[in-house]
Amino acid sequence: MKRSDILHTIQSTEDWDVLVIGGGASGLGTALEAATRGYRTLLLEAHDYAKGTSSRSTKLIHGGVRYLAQGNIPLVKEALHERGILKRNAPHLVHDMGFLVAAYNWWSIPFYGIGLKLYDFLAGKLNLQPSRRVSREKALALMPTLKKEGLKGGVLYFDGQFDDSRLAISLMRTLRDEGGVALNHAPVTALLKEGDKVVGASFQDAETGQEYKVYAKSVVNATGVFVDDIRRMETPDVAPMLSPSQGVHLVVERKFLPSQCAMMVPHTQDGRVLFAVPWHGHVMIGTTDTAVPNIDVEPRALAEEVEFILNTAKQHMTPAPTRADVLSVYAGLRPLVKADGEGETKSLSRSHVIRTSAGGLVTLTGGKWTTYRRMGQDAVDEVVKRTGLPVKTSVTSDLKLHGWCDNAPDDHWKVYGTDAVKIQMLAGATIRLSDELPNTEAEVLWAIRHEQARTVEDVLARRIRALFLNAQAARDAAPRVAQILADELGRDEAWQQAQLREFNALVDGYLLSPV
């Protein structure tokens, strides 16, 4: 559907049942939940789907081994249940991955072995594969670059891996398939009120500057780390809900972890876990947990976070990557709900929270990608309770997501599922954007025509993952992407040059500067 057609649909609908603000994991989950129950649903996203935290994860669909260690059994059990549901509903985007916990002292193997058996048990019939102990020789066979000195063996357990922004696009497409409407590059500028009641929102078309008003029986604020900004539109002096923290990841070549398995370091110097995970032919290493005073659309990795990850990797990998080996560095902000007392961000709850204001604004925040579906279900249940919409049973636990395919080839086309064949029939299906990238010009066309990509960044950051995998290769591909966008959208040379300036400035933040 063209952008003009989406805007026409929005203008011609006098009253929506549910208006969702925010196009990340929680917003998309809520909108899809509402649409599948038959409610007239509109989602507005200020920038692009998964632009914020939802494209900057560790790419895991997991119960949370660290939360198990903290004793948060209900959260782990819920997440493991949702992990199984998501793998069943989106096998083209979620797959099993083994995680090796290397042991360098005698007690580690039984200690982690018992804990991970509990992890298996909590997953119940939706468990992926049983965890197991492995010998020193088997550990090195699984992971040849593992540090050998002092290695006793290890424990191998299984979790899910996925592509976060591709899941977001699949959810957006599923939302449309189910009769919902979604629009990106449409920032909400104000909440509409009748007396004290929130009845809708004003938004701007970021491309034209035109303002629109939409009315809805319920408004859901699902804007991640920006939920307090929306809450202040209703109540300017409202106390903030969040205490955000930053997580950083480094991406390097696959040679540093030539394995089908990921590495999990269960206890780092800052009390977190660290992962080294194979992803799209590269290796992603992270993450950190740094309290941040300010919320930014484009958070930047701190020098000490980069050094922490490299130093921790050096203790477990040989050879270990250095600054010169980092192809891309990215940072994301976690929407952690404030604790009653003071505490470090790593100890704050990862559970989702729903709060409804006196004016009826429903705010959903916290949580993680694994539980996006349950977050949406709980939010819509709250909407129904508050608005009197007809009660309808949730169906999303058995809903196959757009592109569903359980036998897709294990290459870069897999994330498209059944759409891959359609993309491969387009012009440019064999013309690669860069020697360093597997992606083709046909994927750019598809992203524009069917996935609402509007900018070079939309394409290279979130439709294909070039910016996150190899920032310099993304920069090299940008001129051709800008040209294809201009041809498809009817833009001129000045627009192309402006796009390239903006994207090149963005790329600078994903590259490590020389020391």
Compute how many other C-beta atoms are within 10 angstroms of the C-beta atom of residue 432. 14
Amino acid at 2: K
Task: Say which CATH number the domain at 252 has.
Answer: 3.30.9.10
Q: Hey, what amino acid is at 409?
A: P
55: which residues sit within 8 A by CB, 6+ positions away? 164, 165, 168, 332, 461, 462, 468
**CA 181 to each of CA 12, 18, 200, 221, 370: distance values in angstroms, whole numbers, following the listed order:** 12, 11, 15, 16, 24
CA distance 94 to 161: 6
Q: 137, exposed or middle or buried, with CB in 10 Å at 0-12, 13-18, 19+?
A: exposed
CATH number at residue 189: 3.50.50.60
What's the Rg (C-alpha) of the chain?
22
Q: Per-residue pLDDT tens, the chain, 515 aa: give them.
A: 899 999 999 999 999 999 999 999 999 999 999 999 999 999 999 999 999 999 999 999 999 888 887 788 988 999 999 999 999 999 999 999 999 999 999 888 999 999 999 999 999 999 999 999 999 999 999 999 999 999 999 999 999 999 999 999 999 999 999 999 999 999 999 999 999 999 999 999 999 999 999 999 999 999 999 999 999 999 999 999 998 999 999 999 999 999 999 999 988 877 778 999 999 999 999 999 999 988 999 999 999 999 999 999 999 999 999 999 999 999 999 998 886 543 444 444 568 999 999 999 999 999 999 999 999 999 999 999 999 899 999 999 999 999 999 988 889 999 999 999 999 999 999 999 999 999 999 999 999 999 999 999 999 999 999 999 999 999 999 999 999 999 999 999 999 999 999 999 999 999 998 76
DSSP string, 173-184: HHHHHTT-EEES
For 179, the token pair is 């009769």
The identity of residue 315, as a single letter, is Q
Tell me: do 253 and 265 sit in the same domain: yes
Distance, CA of 28 to CA of 376 (rounded, Å): 8
Q: What confidence score (pLDDT) does residue 342 get?
A: 39
Please check whether residue 124 lies inside any domain of the structure.
Answer: yes
Q: Considering the domain boundaries, does residue 462 fall inside one?
A: yes
Burial (CB < 10 A; 0-12, 13-18, 19+), residue 508, is exposed
What is the CA 387 to chain-centroid distance, rounded? 30
User: Across-strand partners of 206?
Assistant: none
Q: Is 495 inside any structural domain? A: yes
Q: 389 and 269, same structural domain?
A: no
Would 187 be classed as within a structural domain?
A: yes
Same domain, 295 and 325: yes
**What is the β-pairing status of strands 352-356 and 211-221?**
unpaired
Residue pointed to by tokens 């629009």: 183
| Residue 74 domain flag | no
Which residues, in sequence order, are bridge partners of residue 170? Answer: none
Question: What does the alpha-carbon distance between residue 194 and residue 202 come to, in Å, rounded to a whole number?
Answer: 14
pLDDT of residue 350: 60
288 and 248 in a common domain: yes
What pLDDT is stored for residue 278 in this prediction?
97
How high is the pLDDT of residue 339?
64
CA proximity to 242, closest of 294, 201, 289, 192: 294
Shared-domain flag, residues 152 and 181:
no
Residues 143 and 263 in one domain: yes
- Cα–Cα distances in angstroms (integers) from residue 218 to residues 170, 294, 357, 498, in the given order: 25, 29, 12, 38
pLDDT value of residue 27: 98
Same domain as 254, residue 156: yes
Flag whether 324 is in a domain: yes
- Domain stop point among 285, 308, 333: 333
Residues 151 and 174 in one domain: no
Main-chain phi, psi angles of 363, to 5 degrees: -110, 125
How far is Cα 222 from Cα 299, in angstroms, rounded to an integer?
19
The residue whose two tokens read 């960044």 is 457
The structural domain count of the chain equals 3
Same domain, 20 and 114: no
Query: Which pLDDT score, from 0 to 100, does residue 515 have?
Result: 64
DSSP 242: B
Residue 492, domain extent: 424-508
Closest CA to 184 of 435, 456, 452: 452
**E strand or H helix at 473:** helix 471-489
- Sequence-ordered list of residues with C-beta below 8 angstroms from that of 157, at least 6 positions apart, any chain: 65, 98, 99, 101, 116, 119, 120, 131
Rounded distance between C-alpha atoms, residue 74 and residue 352, angstroms: 12
Show which of 286, 310, 333 is a domain's final residue.
333
Q: Which of 306, 333, 360 is the last residue of a domain?
A: 333
Number of continuous H segments (helices) and E segments (strands) in the chain: 16, 20
Burial of 13 (0-12, 13-18, 19+ CB in 10 A): middle
Asked if residue 268 is part of any domain, the answer here is yes
From CA 332, how far away is CA 374, in angstroms rounded? 22
- Is there a single domain that holds both residue 184 and residue 42? yes
| Cα–Cα dist 144/101, whole Å | 14
- For residues 441 and 457, state if they share a domain: yes
72 falls within a domain: no
Asked if residue 249 and residue 156 are part of one domain, the reply reads yes
In degrees and rounded to multiples of 5, residue 98 shows phi and psi of: -80, 140
Q: 390-399 long-range contacts, Cβ below 8 Å, gap at least 24?
A: 392/37, 392/38, 392/39, 393/37, 394/33, 394/36, 394/37, 395/36, 395/37, 396/32, 396/33, 396/36, 397/85, 397/89, 397/373, 398/89, 399/32, 399/36, 399/89, 399/174
